[in-house]
Amino acid sequence: MQITLDKFTKRFGDVTVVEDMDLTVGKGEMVALLGESGCGKSTTLFAVCGIYRVDGGRILFGDRDVTRLSSQERNVGVVFQSFALYPHMTVAQNIGFPLRVQKKPQAEIDAKVREIAALVRIENLLDRRPGQLSGGQQQRVALARALIRRPAILLLDEPLANLDAKLRLDMRAEIRRLQQETGTTAILVTHDQVEAMSMCDRVAIMDRGKIVQFAPPRAMYDKPANTFVAGFLGSPPISFLDGRAENGRFVAEASGVDLPLPSHLASLESGRPIGIGIRSEFLDPSSTATVSGKISFIEAQGREDLYYLQLPDGKVVRGIQDAAHSAQLGDAVSWGVNTEAMLVFDADGNTL
Ligand SMILES: Nc1ncnc2c1ncn2[C@@H]1O[C@H](COP(=O)(O)OP(=O)(O)OP(=O)(O)O)[C@@H](O)[C@H]1O
Ligand SMILES: [Mg+2]
């Protein structure tokens, strides 16, 4: 079922947390709300599920205006960040709880609990209590409880935040599989860019209550709207340098950098202040356009190492290099840059 936010606004007292937000999540689509702590992700999710009253705008499920409906009337499945299982109930009772509230016959509840438990692969744990489960198992119980009413809409607020790295990987794939198999429309709230990009069809990046960009992960990574988005996506983080355009080149004197601009920007007027962004994968040993400095930091990462190249003015360019061909700390080096791939920004930080 399609979800539409139409100029959604939410205030707490006289503080406006989300203002005039427009967002459409297509039927069967999974969309991430990605942003820093406090940007309004949970607030938006709570408004969609009906826990928060909205202060402006409308929320639609399909063609139906649900803005004034209670959360019970909206029939959405929700998994909160702290997944809040009832400790005194068994797993089966936890999962079946939403149906008990609806006063369904016990036989029907039992059947549905078994069915949904199989879907999230915890059929053998139904008689345990939450305290006897691992974090990942508890997470799946919370997911099963959210799914048992077969909601057309699933809302997930940092559902993987409490899991270790390995479990998180498994659960990412699992949640995505479930969402796709059931054709559920889903919103995933996260501040983890990898989670957003790997699980979702589209990502909405939020900054202080506004959506800065809404696009499929790849498109957003390749063509970020501005420095905020470019800085949010990618590991290691993109390196930014400020300078100006000069005869088809990017020049930053203090950094000792002088690089040809990508050919589609070669005619930028000389003297115009601009910035560039260099991602690690833009480094290219075969390129004759180079940035030069000293290796100021090396972080071993296994097969490859992360290097910081410090330019004369202290600015840093980060690059991942094959550990086999490593430079040493303090070495003076030049790195080739694939300048066609460089991102270029205007003085306001918007991508040119
Ligand atoms: N009940 C409330 N009363 C007043 N202010 C609130 C309330 N709930 C949230 N806020 C404020 O609204 C802003 C957005 O909060 P929200 O919980 O939506 O952030 P978030 O993006 O989910 O952050 P996080 O990643 O830390 O969970 C924050 O500045 C927060 O302090
Ligand atoms: Mg939150």
Flag whether pLDDT at 325 surpasses 70. no
The CATH number linked to 275 is 2.40.50.140
Residues 60 and 162 in one domain: yes
Flag whether pLDDT at 82 surpasses 80. no
Establish if 113 belongs to a structural domain: yes
Flag whether pLDDT at 252 surpasses 70. yes
Number of compact structural domains in the chain: 2
pLDDT the model gives residue 119: 80
Residue-wise pLDDT tens digits, 34-48: 999 999 999 999 999
Residues 331 and 222 in one domain: no
What mean pLDDT do residues 78-88 have?
83
Q: How far is residue 341's CA from residue 346's CA, in Å, rounded to a whole number?
A: 16
Question: Of 230, 228, 283, 293, which Cα lies nearest the Cα of 257?
Answer: 293
Q: Encode 141-168: b = buried (16+ Cβ within 10 Å), e = exposed.
A: bbbbbbbbbebbbbbbbbbbbebeeebb
337, 291 Cβ separation under 8 angstroms: yes
Expressed in angstroms and rounded, the spacing between residue 242 Cα and the centre of ligand 1 is: 33
Instruction: Give the pLDDT band of residue 84 (cuts 50, 70, 90).
Output: confident
Expressed in angstroms and rounded, the spacing between residue 190 Cα and the centre of ligand 2 is: 8
User: Residue of the nearest CA to atom 31 in ligand 1?
Assistant: 38
Alpha helix positions (H), the chain: 41-49, 71-74, 91-101, 106-119, 135-147, 165-182, 193-199, 217-222, 227-232
User: Residue of the nearest CA to atom 9 in ligand 1?
Assistant: 43
Q: Which of the ligands is closest to the CA of residue 38?
A: 1
Expressed in angstroms and rounded, the spacing between residue 35 Cα and the centre of ligand 2 is: 10
Flag whether pLDDT at 324 surpasses 70. no
Residue 203 sits in which domain range?
3-232
pLDDT the model gives residue 304: 85
Flag whether pLDDT at 242 surpasses 90. yes
Helix (H, G, I), strand (E, B) or coil at 96: helix
What mean pLDDT do residues 123-151 have?
89
251, 258 Cβ separation under 8 angstroms: yes
Q: Ligand 1, residues 39, 51, 205: which to mutate, most atoms within 8 A of Cβ?
A: 39
From 166, 200, 232, give the residue that closes a domain. Answer: 232
CA 185 to chain centre: 17
Residues 313 and 293 in one domain: yes
Instruction: Give the pLDDT band of residue 159 (cuts 50, 70, 90).
Output: confident
Flag whether pLDDT at 164 surpasses 80. no
Residues 41 and 187 in one domain: yes
Residues 262 and 298 in one domain: yes
Establish if 143 belongs to a structural domain: yes
Residues 69 and 108 in one domain: yes
Expressed in angstroms and rounded, the spacing between residue 87 Cα and the centre of ligand 2 is: 23
Expressed in angstroms and rounded, the spacing between residue 94 Cα and the centre of ligand 1 is: 28
**Ligand 1 shell residues, CB under 6 Å:** 12, 17, 35, 37-43, 191
Establish if 244 belongs to a structural domain: yes
